[in-house]
Amino acid sequence: MESRTDASIVKWKMVEHTAIVYSTIDKIQIRIAEQNVNGVRKVMLSNWNLNDVKSGKLQFYRPQPK
């Protein structure tokens, strides 16, 4: 995935990446609890601005009752 702002370009390699939406900040920003980012297996919290995502694919799944 690639994210761009006025000051930087950040690329992430997310093989076997796992994340959940921890909270919403506003309509375009979410707080994510994630692991397996750039080889780091530890769970970490990060904020994502969805308007900054310029390439890659995000998929969201909502739990459904059985």
Residues 23-56: tens digit of each pLDDT: 999 999 999 998 887 778 899 998 988 888 887 7
The answer to whether residues 17 and 9 touch, using CB atoms and an 8 Å cutoff, is no
Cα separation, 44 vs 41, in Å, equals 9
Domain presence at residue 63: no
Strands 18-24 and 53-55: unpaired
Q: Considering the entire predicted model, what is its pTM? A: 0.67
DSSP state of 46: E
How high is the pLDDT of residue 45?
94
Q: How far, rounded to the nearest angstrom, does the alpha carbon of residue 11 sit from its chain's CA centroid?
A: 12
For residue 37, what are the domain limits? 2-55
Domain presence at residue 32: yes
* Gyration radius of the chain over CA positions: 13
Q: How many domains does the chain have?
A: 1
14 pLDDT band (50/70/90 cuts)?
A: low
